[in-house]
Structure 1
Amino acid sequence: LKEAGYVTGMAGKWHLGENEKITEHGFDKVFFKHSNAPGFWNMNLQGQEIEPTTHRGGYHLELIADFACAFIKRHADQPFFFYLAPRAPHTPLDATEKYTARFPGEMPERRRQALAMISAIDDGIGRMMQTLRELNLEESTLIFAMGDNGAPLKIHQLDSPLDGDAGGWDGSINAPMNGEKGMLSEGGIRTPWLAYWKDTIPAGQVFKHPVISLDVAATAVAVAGLTEKQTDLDGVNLMPHFTGQTSAPPHERLYWRWAAQSAVREGRWKLLRGGPREYLYDLDADPSEKHNLLTQHAAVADRLREQLRSWATQLVPPGVDDLTLPPAARDFFDYYLDGKPATEPNPTPPNPDRRELRKKERKEQRKKAEPHP
């Protein structure tokens, strides 16, 4: 996009290396801020460039939306691409009273927090939309909004103390989808997914065919006129599908691999694998993945399995036949897909020292992965 004259920006959560190196990934203006801990930015809320520095203070969900508005105002006369990544609803849950007061009544406190944090996101998106309208940019701006994964229910959805279980249930709910974050079942990967372009994408549609977050990059590149770059990306340009130029599905198949799990979706059929276990679902008839049809439709499963294995030869490392499910994934598959009783909940929060140790281990792994000069 920068090659096509776009200015680029991001704000919020970042999981692709050190915060100080976000600009090396193509973003001009950045504001790493995914909690109320110190963040990092190179432009202030007045849209002024500053020396890259630490940021302190404020509520992260409000600040990143304000940063997005400042970015839009500064670059209103240029093509721009902005990526907003709110860490919400996500643990640790940290909504302020301004937002929790909007949700009175009896409910788990973690649910109240989730709704409050989503409400803060809504307010921020509202400010961004108002900024676009004030600058007469709404009709020339394509907007995508989506979740990144299903809720981490931890099976039991325990309403544990907010200050004592930072990694517990985040208060969000996956029903009627089965499973949760960390699974390739629909409860883990099917999320809200919206597209808006005033006067270009007809309003009020429900698009019936499967799409994937990878399609955002391919669509953005196509809209920018970089047609020769589309072959470099795994996604599909969705504009012909959203505007009615074609009724064909964007994808013949969609594939996933996550640790010892893998899945392929082809039309109504989905083959899901977890270690040595396999499941075949008809998502048209059974979107909640309650009825495994592996035996009844063995030929379909065989065909999809071969497609999945063929696709996985392109991955690094290749393959989808890892038979070792981690303990947490085994518990999930036992409970959600095999109908076994849930394991007893563990009310003891993770040891903070262990969390810090894991952070240190991940940092060391990143250093080892960096190429030597």
Structure 2
Amino acid sequence: MSYRSFTVEAWIYPTTVSGDNTIFSQCACITCTNQCLTLILRGGRLYMSFGFNDLQGTTQLTASVWYHVAFVYNYATSQQIIYLDGVQDGVRTSTQPYQGQNGSIIIGAQSTSYYYFGYIDNLALTTRAKSASEISDDATLMFYYSFDLPNPFYGNLLSLFNNTAYWNYFTSYSNYLSISTTTGRVNQGIRPAITPSYFQMCCFYQMAMFNNKPYTFAIWIYPTSIAGGSIVHVSYYHSNSGSGTTCNGHDVLALTYSGQILAQLYQSSSYQSYIGRRLSINTWTHVAGTYSSSNGLILYVDGVQEGSVSATTYGNCGFPFFVTLGYSWNIGYGYSPGISFQGYLDEFYTYRRELSATEILALASV
């Protein structure tokens, strides 16, 4: 790490934000300039020090909340940069590099003091300066499934959250052959072998079923029938919708009975929906739904905004939940018919932020 660029990232859950809580350290000489690297939470703010060569973030953190943090040093531009949840939180230019030649790397303390109180997950050291877009993805891309061989049912992302996929795992739907691989939009995709069948993921603590958080769901679909079908379904329970609670499960992307693409969300006691065009059969189409309290619910088809509907709040749940592709347990809410999707699925992304129109177009251009 001496005289070079680097990036240190982690998910942190501090149980206290007072004092100095060390996340990562490597200290060759504590009294020498630029020879003691400490990445800490100081008085509730992120703090990056090389030893008398420091940068402090601007945002006050709260105890008992998960955050994604990143500390970047760019040797080429002589910059220290701090990111919080994928957003730049501080920058300092004309900075001399870290110069420590030795010293043990310690996670959660500095030597035998300044201990960290709380949880740390997925800490990673990269010996280059990651870009702002890479940091944003690391902080907000919840999961990505390419469905490519040799491991089509494994996510292509390691994150804080449980990224385990269940395909027909539960007792009523325990046939592993119900989902199989096929030719996809990019390499391989998945298709249902029988009805009902589905591909299910669990459990996502920081997603949008609660606290009105922004989200993006994006996927390539190849419908072999357009007489309705669940594309992306979210629910509090693994095998039903959670009807009758504030955790109402529902399709966030679906086809109506007439084959029109639908994006919707649960708002208080009703559903906000936007119904777009009728899709073509046996054709790959990219569909995406995004939400933020400022822009509401937006539906995209093949990278172009189809339409939007105002929605300032989103169903309040407060629990981790399941994401299911292709099936909604024959329960339809809003304008979704609640029947199985017939066709192929590929390249599934979920973000815990609202992607821009440019970013959606990039996903639809592969």
TM-score range, shorter chain: under 0.3
TM-score (norm 1): 0.23
Higher strand share: 2
Higher helix share: 1
